[in-house]
């Protein structure tokens, strides 16, 4: 999940009877699974919530390139280099695509990016963890993209048309990344040396819990969930999605021959789900507050990229203006 703890600005979900005619028509459309399009009437808070959610998602795609940039210059073979470069390129594309979906709501890409850089907008907490060995490139693909997909597959049915369509396209590429990531790990486990197997287990140990945190706090601690669910911006609760992710991931973990750093992780026959240990939410909130291991570096890199590139963008605009004048004069 690339959007966490999105504010809805709403204290209590209204019933249809409490709504004015416009809002009632809007909610009835949503209830009937009819997509809301850019030009349709929508409540202000729905618009603002979506802008927050989609921009967070877009920021996450862009910031998410940085942990991979840490290894793309060190990819071990030409094939792995090509795969990682293609993944990074896809992510830049997803970022652009999502910013466009967000702009259909009247938001401005540069303004939203500025909010990110000044710390007023969030991005997925997972990208604030360092990537410390090559297996992280596999584990990020498998676990992080895997967790993102669980959320995004559901978001393909989200109520806002442009967002839903963006998700459909993005999901296809994400599932490719996930399989590729898993294959990196599987190859190391099946054909690798002991040192490589240790890398894989180490990567899983470090990324397991942060991946589970990607789904956000448990339902009881998610004050915005009810409204987002009523708007069908969100379609399942955080806990439901987290459970789904764990249930599908543990068998894959077993095929790898690796373990999760959770002694309480075990199949519960009665529930038909895996039980798992307590998530350390203090860590999650610290990372969200900006105190994670790499928050500072990630934001600084992004800020520098935009600042250092200002003269390039200015030159492009100046040149385009010159061209336009020349054409007008001709």
Partner 1 sequence: MTQYDELTEFLLRLGDSALIQAQRLCEWTGRAPAIEEEMGMMNVGLDLVGQARNWYEYAAERINDGTDADVLAFRRDERAFRNLLLVEQPNGDFAVTMTKQFFYDAWQFHLLTILKDAKDERISAIATKSLKEVIYHLRRSSQWVERLGDGTDESHQRMEKAIDAVWRFTVELVEKNAAEMALAESGDIPSLAELPEQWLATVNKVFAKATLTVPDAPSTFYLSARTGMHTEYLGILLAEMQFLQRAYPDASW
Q: Which stretch binds partner 1 (CB under 8 A): 16-24, 57-65, 118-126, 206-214?
A: 57-65
Note whether 330 binds partner 1 by CB under 8 A: no
Residue 229 near residue 237 (C-beta atoms within 8 A): yes
Report the residue number, 194 or 282, with the smaller CB distance to partner 1: 194
Q: What are the contacts of 201-205 at 24+ separation with CB within 8 A?
A: 201/258, 201/259, 202/132, 202/133, 202/135, 203/132, 203/133, 203/135, 203/136, 203/138, 203/139, 204/139, 204/143, 204/253, 204/258, 204/259, 204/260, 204/261, 205/261
Query: At its nearest, how many Å lie between partner 1 and the CB of residue 258?
Result: 17
Report the residue number, 99 or 160, with the smaller CB distance to partner 1: 99
**Interaction with partner 1 in 125-144: which residues (CB under 8 A)?**
134
Q: Which stretch binds partner 1 (CB under 8 A): 22-30, 81-89, 115-123, 139-147?
A: 81-89
Note whether 14 binds partner 1 by CB under 8 A: no
Site of tokens 């676990």 = 143
For partner 1, the binding residue among 12, 78, 328, 330 (CB under 8 A) is 78
Rounded Cα distance between 45 and 10, Å, is 7
Report the residue number, 11 or 191, with the smaller CB distance to partner 1: 191
Please give the backbone phi and psi of residue 3, each rounded to the nearest 5 degrees, phi first.
-125, 125
Query: At its nearest, how many Å lie between partner 1 and the CB of residue 315?
Result: 3
**Interaction with partner 1 in 274-303: which residues (CB under 8 A)?**
301-302
Residues facing 273 on adjacent strands? 268
Count the neighbouring beta carbons within 10 Å of the beta carbon of residue 291: 12
Note whether 102 binds partner 1 by CB under 8 A: no
For partner 1, the binding residue among 45, 156, 164, 196 (CB under 8 A) is 196
- The one-character DSSP state at 264 is T
- The one-character DSSP state at 160 is B
Note whether 88 binds partner 1 by CB under 8 A: yes
């Amino acid at each position: 999940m690339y959007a966490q703890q999105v504010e809805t600005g709403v204290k209590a979900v209204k019933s249809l009877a409490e709504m004015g005619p416009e809002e009632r028509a809007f909610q009835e459309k949503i209830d009937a699974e009819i997509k809301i399009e850019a030009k349709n009437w929508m409540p202000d808070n729905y618009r603002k919530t979506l802008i927050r959610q989609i921009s967070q998602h877009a920021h996450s795609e862009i910031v998410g390139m940085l942990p991979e940039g840490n290894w793309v210059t060190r990819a071990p073979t030409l094939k792995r280099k090509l795969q990682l470069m293609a993944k990074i390129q896809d992510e830049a594309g997803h970022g652009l695509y999502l910013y466009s979906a967000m702009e259909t709501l009247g938001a401005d890409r540069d303004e939203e990016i500025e909010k990110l850089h000044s710390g007023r907008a969030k991005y997925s907490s997972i990208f604030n963890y360092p990537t410390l060995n090559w297996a992280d490139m596999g584990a990020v693909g498998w676990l992080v993209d895997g967790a993102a997909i669980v959320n995004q597959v559901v978001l393909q049915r989200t109520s806002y048309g442009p967002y839903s369509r963006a998700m459909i396209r993005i999901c296809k590429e994400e599932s490719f990344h996930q399989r590729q990531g898993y294959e990196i790990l599987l190859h190391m486990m099946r054909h690798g040396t002991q040192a490589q197997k240790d890398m894989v287990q180490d990567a899983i140990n470090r990324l397991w819990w942060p991946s589970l945190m990607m789904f956000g706090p448990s339902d009881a601690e998610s004050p915005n969930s009810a409204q987002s669910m009523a708007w069908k911006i969100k379609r399942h609760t955080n806990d439901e999605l987290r459970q789904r992710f764990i249930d599908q991931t543990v068998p894959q973990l077993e095929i790898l021959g690796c373990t999760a750093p959770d002694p309480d992780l075990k199949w519960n026959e009665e529930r038909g789900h895996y039980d798992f240990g307590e998530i350390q939410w203090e860590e999650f909130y610290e990372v969200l507050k900006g105190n994670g291991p790499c928050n500072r570096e990630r934001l600084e890199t992004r800020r520098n990229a935009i600042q250092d590139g200002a003269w390039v963008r200015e030159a492009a605009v100046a040149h385009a203006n010159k061209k336009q004048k020349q054409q007008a004069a001709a």
